[in-house]
Amino acid sequence: MRLPITGIGAVASIGRDADEIFRNLCAGQGGLGPMRGFDHDLYTGTQLFEIDDRPEPGVDRTLRATGFLLDAVGQAARDAGLGDDLSDCPVLVGTGLRELRSAELWWRDGVSFGPERLHFGTALRERFGTPDTHTFSNACSASLYALALGADMLALGEADTVIVAGVDSITESMFGLADRVQPEPPGALRTLDVNRKGTILGDGAAAVVLRREDLPPSDGALWGMLRGVGMTCDAKHPTAPDQKYVAEAIRQAHAHAGTKPADVDLLMLHGTGTPLNDLVEASAYAEVFGPDAGVPVVTGIKPMTGHTSGSAGVLSLVTALQVMATGKVPPLIGLEQPIEEAAGLRLVRGQEAEHQVSLAQVHGFGFGGINAVAIVEAP
Amino acid sequence: MSIFVTGVGVALPGADTAAALAAAVSPVGSVDPAAVLGKKGLRYKDRATQLGLVAGLRVLTDAGLWRDGVLNVDGNRVAVLVSSNLGNVDTACRVARTIADEGTRGLSPMDTPNASSNIIASEVAIRFGLHGPNLMVCNGPGSGLDALRWGAALLRSGRADQAVVIGVEPDNEIVRELVGGPVADGGAALVLERSEAAEARGATVHAEIGGHVRVAGPAAGYERLAAGEPAPLTGWFASGAAAEVLPAELPGHDLSAIWGELSGALGLVQAAAAIGGFAAGARGPVCLVAGSDDDDGSAALVLRPPAPAAPRPAAV
């Protein structure tokens, strides 16, 4: 399978479009800051990777996630030359938290909100005219799960073009429950570092446009080709990951793509910075790659974007495509002493690296033990 | 490639089989998960998850995939799809209110898994050892039919051999206020399977999945499916405003009028009721429709009765 990716779009704490985000990633500029929408007095931790779009500090509003999604999808559609009429184009959205933040504000403060906006179809129909939209609430691997389903739609001939997106804005319930069990909140998100203290949430959205491979070239860009996506479920623990099925997702991705670990030039980590995720992820990777574990360069975006939950997978994919286009690889900032399990890896540290990438592997793992891994190829 | 329904499970107040669902005229009592599943392990699971586990147990048992506490097919090849819009809305809202009142010190860490909307799908996978693709569909009124569509897609693309598709919605003070009325507090489930896999293990076929669409408005969806279906449609299932624009001359079934708000469970409850009708002798394909002209999209799906057993060659 070689599905052309003809458009990209993204928003995050470090940029309002895909270009600005990538510039900041390469410059090592993270988006962590004092939290803007939640009351500092109610929490132990007070820093998040938020998109700064609230009316004033301390005042929150509904439908922020919806806005991020519309921005990212609009960017990707324009980049692909599709314009603003997507009436024939299915849009698949992966999200961890849907518009639950708006529901929280509705219940707590009595602001106006209805069930028709818990999912994103209503806003997508209003803005882009498409009735064929799908909101999948698949935790932190949601957008890569959506990517697999979008690719399958094209392979089954159910559509010519599909937009796959991911989005999340931080909910107080998710942040609060994490805060409850972190007496010392992490001062930074430090993927793979021995002194990592946990993850920090972020706002974000990202989107890509996928086309069937048997169609003539489109008017849009050509960022790369999707080769395959693997999906598994640990079926073991609601929150803790299981190395066996993380490794199986990696193997499945390569089986779908018809590639092998030694072909991979770039690994985009899930890399949440929690003690368990990073350990399991590095171990599963080593298990599958064996002697080839030192071949790809390895990086991740979360130390600079935060953990953007359901959008994280496609945001990492967009970054991988930008690496392929530019030969620049953003660094894992804050990584001082890698864990033993990552010792033999070509970690990009300190500052951006120059590296030509023709095949990249992108990880996304989520609560509920749901794992997805994508393989993408340069044009 | 044909996709068959080889299992049906029902978890509604007073209806625990497709036959009971097809005959029901009103809810009776409530679903008691502890009575079905045993109390062990249910304590911190939210209501939607408990309902999903009940529907999951019943559908896997009906499909012959789960016997005496053991899965008898390869769990790596079984996909789980759950549709629910309201599932964990209560947890998110309640936790946000507690934070405002008491700070995060007032929270229970046991709520953490329930803050993620996919808790139902992951708990079903954990309980029954299902390692295939695991998908939580939260897609508004059409969500249940959408989940059936994606279940069929995972089978067609070869990513799974069986797909367990569940739709459940919980009732509580918070979601009642959100949707403006009582919620069904239950749901239904199907097992989908490629025809050759179903035949290979000698499964009982309850129905066959026909065409599906997701378009603007129920009338357009119905017309497209009617035009593509080899046999004439013999009835439909739709609720509220969607029911008003479908052919009045055919028998129509508005299940929300019986059960209350079905939301993400609607498509699965419609399918289970239609299968109850097939078992009672209904002949000919029916159209399931969810989502009206007022909604962002309208999903529609044809369900065909199982083919009659092949007639024996006539004696000459």
A129 burial via Cβ count (<10 Å: 0-12, 13-18, 19+):
middle
Across A23-32, A233-242, A297-306, B16-25, least confident range? A233-242
Q: What is the pLDDT of residue B175?
A: 98
Distance separating alpha carbons of residues A56 and A37, to the nearest angstrom: 8
* Minimal CA separation from A75 to chain B, in Å: 22
Regions of chain B short of the pLDDT cut 70: 309-316
Distance separating alpha carbons of residues B19 and B24, to the nearest angstrom: 9
Which residues of chain B form beta strands (DSSP E)? 3-11, 66-67, 70-71, 78-83, 134-137, 162-169, 186-194, 207-215, 236-237, 252-253, 286-290, 298-304
Does the domain at residues B3-200 carry the CATH identifier 3.40.47.10?
yes
CB B91 within 8 A of CB B46: yes
Q: What is the pLDDT of residue B50?
A: 98
pLDDT in tens, B26-42: 999 999 999 999 999 99
Q: What is the pLDDT of chain A when averaged over all its residues?
A: 97
> From its phi and psi, is residue B12 left (phi > 0), alpha (psi between -120 and 50) or beta?
beta
Examine the pLDDT at A219 and tell me if it is beyond 80: no
The mean per-residue pLDDT over the stretch A350-360 comes to 97
* Minimal CA separation from A369 to chain B, in Å: 7
**CB proximity list for B63: less than 8 A, separation 6 or greater:** B6, B7, B162, B191, B193, B203
Q: What is the pLDDT of residue B311?
A: 54
Candidates B97, B116, B129; nearest CB to A96: B116
Q: Would the CB atoms of A152 and B154 count as touching at under 8 Å?
A: yes
| Residue where the block lists tokens 């809810």 | B27
CB A50 within 8 A of CB A13: yes
ipTM of the complex model: 0.97
Instruction: Domain of residue A355: give its range.
Output: 3-377
Examine the pLDDT at A142 and tell me if it is beyond 90: yes
pLDDT in tens, A69-118: 999 999 999 999 998 999 999 999 999 999 999 999 999 999 999 999 99
- Percent of residues, chain A, with pLDDT higher than 70: 100
Could you tell me which residues are beta bridge partners of residue A267? A298, A361
User: Residues for chain B: how many in total?
Assistant: 316
Q: Which three-class secondary structure state does DSSP give residue B298?
A: strand
pLDDT in tens, B211-257: 999 999 999 999 999 999 999 999 999 999 999 999 999 999 999 99
CB B51 within 8 A of CB B11: yes
Task: Give the count of beta carbons closer than 10 Å to the beta carbon of residue A304.
Answer: 27
pLDDT tier at A218 (50, 70, 90 boundaries)? confident
**CB proximity list for B108: less than 8 A, separation 6 or greater:** none
CB A317 within 8 A of CB A104: no
* CATH number for the domain harbouring residue A8: 3.40.47.10
A81-110 residues touching B, CB cutoff 8 A:
96-98, 100, 103-108
Total domain count for chain A? Answer: 1
Q: Which of B22, B2, B21, B26 is nearest to B10 (CA)?
A: B21
B76-105 residues touching A, CB cutoff 8 A:
76, 80, 85-86, 88-89, 91-97, 99-100, 103-105
Q: What is the pLDDT of residue B313?
A: 56
Distance separating alpha carbons of residues A86 and A84, to the nearest angstrom: 6
Candidates A44, A98, A133; nearest CB to B297: A133
**CB proximity list for B223: less than 8 A, separation 6 or greater:** none
Distance separating alpha carbons of residues A328 and A295, to the nearest angstrom: 17
Which residues of A13-78 form beta strands (DSSP E)? 33-34, 47-48
Q: Is B196 on the interface with A (CB under 8 A)?
A: no
B208-304 CATH choice from 3.40.47.10, 3.40.190.10, 1.20.120.160, 3.10.450.230? 3.40.47.10
Examine the pLDDT at A129 and tell me if it is beyond 70: yes
- The more confident residue out of A56 and A69 is A69
Q: Is A157 on the interface with B (CB under 8 A)?
A: no
Examine the pLDDT at A30 and tell me if it is beyond 90: yes
Q: Which of A16, A18, A3 is nearest to A314 (CA)?
A: A18
Q: Where are the domains of chain B?
A: 3-200, 208-304
State residue B313 phi and psi, 5-degree precision.
-60, 135
> Half-sphere exposure of residue B106, counting CA atoms within 13 Å on the CB side?
12
Q: Is B49 on the interface with A (CB under 8 A)?
A: no
Q: What is the pLDDT of residue B314?
A: 55
Q: Would the CB atoms of B139 and A41 count as touching at under 8 Å?
A: no
